[in-house]
Amino acid sequence: MQSVDSAAEQAEFDRKIAEEQKIEPTDWMPDDYRKNLIRQMSQHAHSEVIGMQPEGNWITRAPTLRRKAVLLAKVQDEAGHGLYLYSATETLGISRSELIDALQTGKAKYASIFNYPTLSWADVGAIGWLVDGAAIVNQISLQRTSYGPYSRAMIRICKEESFHQRQGYEIMYALAKGTPEQKQMAQDAMNRFWWPSLMMFGPHDSESAHSGRSMKWKIKRQSNDDLRQKFIDQTVPQIEVLGLEMPDPEIKWNEERGHYDSGEINWEEFYQVINGSGPCNHQRIKHHKAAHDNGEWVREAVRAYRAKQNQKAAESAA
């Protein structure tokens, strides 16, 4: 049975959620709300950071100086998104090293799309356009999430995501309107990234393990299927502008629904990739570990600096 105190706290929490007020780090919150947020926010942070790898792979091979500068800025933005989100997750009482450990040991997940390889320059275009495009649809909705630090991080992140989406579309546009070989590269990249982009919204609502409670707590504001439909509806006309063939032959405008119909996602592939058997899962984590280990000297310097400051403070207090 709940004590009088915790019943009052629960009631206060419920009132805030009902009235669309944000929950802040010092507010009381149910344990499961906290756990659910840590899972979702850290998964989001890991996705931003792991997502730097497939694109970072092309920085040295970008076709022009301008493309290189834009891609560098974009990949750096993703590092920044990871930092905002790790910091926001830490406000829930978990440390950065615990979060990184969960990623590296496979306890925490990240977006399955980043386990696919980037085979050509057109893939950088397809990622910016489709992957960042799908991320924006999700993140715009998360700007209204009930946890204050997460919501504020999303507002900042969305501003940068729309630039990411545009730079990707611009790459696709240049290729699609270029030589037949370039157009074919664009078509091939879109075909490969289309389905994994749709998978980014997660399983169907009926299959989604965490959706119900997350919606109740207003952590999630729109369902996976609604967000996926929104993405399809906004992207199909962009495919038409590019003059590319649809990546899914079942895409068709449905007058009655006022939405595009589309084919069924291969969910078996989704679960395989999420559970570690995608083409690049092993490589992504291996690279993350190596980069993290290489950065040990920075953490060591921070610790040494902190110890020195503490010592100075102790001396001046004495």
Q: Kindly state the smallest distance separating residue 12's Cβ from Fe ion, in Å.
A: 34
Residues numbered 177 to 236 that lie near Fe ion (CB under 5 A) are none
Nearer to Fe ion, 23 or 41 (CB): 41
Residues whose CB falls within 8 Å of the CB of residue 277, separated by 6 or more in sequence, listed in order:
none
Q: Is 55 in the site for Fe ion (CB under 5 A)?
A: no
Residues numbered 5 to 44 that lie near Fe ion (CB under 5 A) are none
Q: Is 164 in the site for Fe ion (CB under 5 A)?
A: yes
Q: How many CB atoms lie within 10 A of CB 32?
A: 10
Helix (H) / strand (E) element for 236: namely helix 224-242
The two structure tokens encoding residue 26: 């010092």
Nearer to Fe ion, 131 or 273 (CB): 131
Site stretch for Fe ion (CB under 5 A), options 124-132, 270-278, 288-296, 300-308: 124-132
In angstroms, rounded to a whole number, what is the distance separating the alpha carbons of residues 293 and 296? 5
Q: Is 81 in the site for Fe ion (CB under 5 A)?
A: yes
Number of residues interacting with Fe ion: please give it, by CB under 5 A: 6
Q: How many CB atoms lie within 10 A of CB 17?
A: 18
Q: Kindly state the smallest distance separating residue 135's Cβ from Fe ion, in Å.
A: 6
In angstroms, rounded to a whole number, what is the distance separating the alpha carbons of residues 62 and 99? 32
Helix (H) / strand (E) element for 256: namely none
The two structure tokens encoding residue 165: 């989406």
Q: Kindly state the smallest distance separating residue 76's Cβ from Fe ion, in Å.
A: 11
Q: Kindly state the smallest distance separating residue 50's Cβ from Fe ion, in Å.
A: 11
Q: Kindly state the smallest distance separating residue 142's Cβ from Fe ion, in Å.
A: 12
The Cβ-side half-sphere exposure at 162, using a 13 Å CA radius, reads 6
Binding site for Fe ion (CB under 5 A): 48, 78, 81, 132, 161, 164
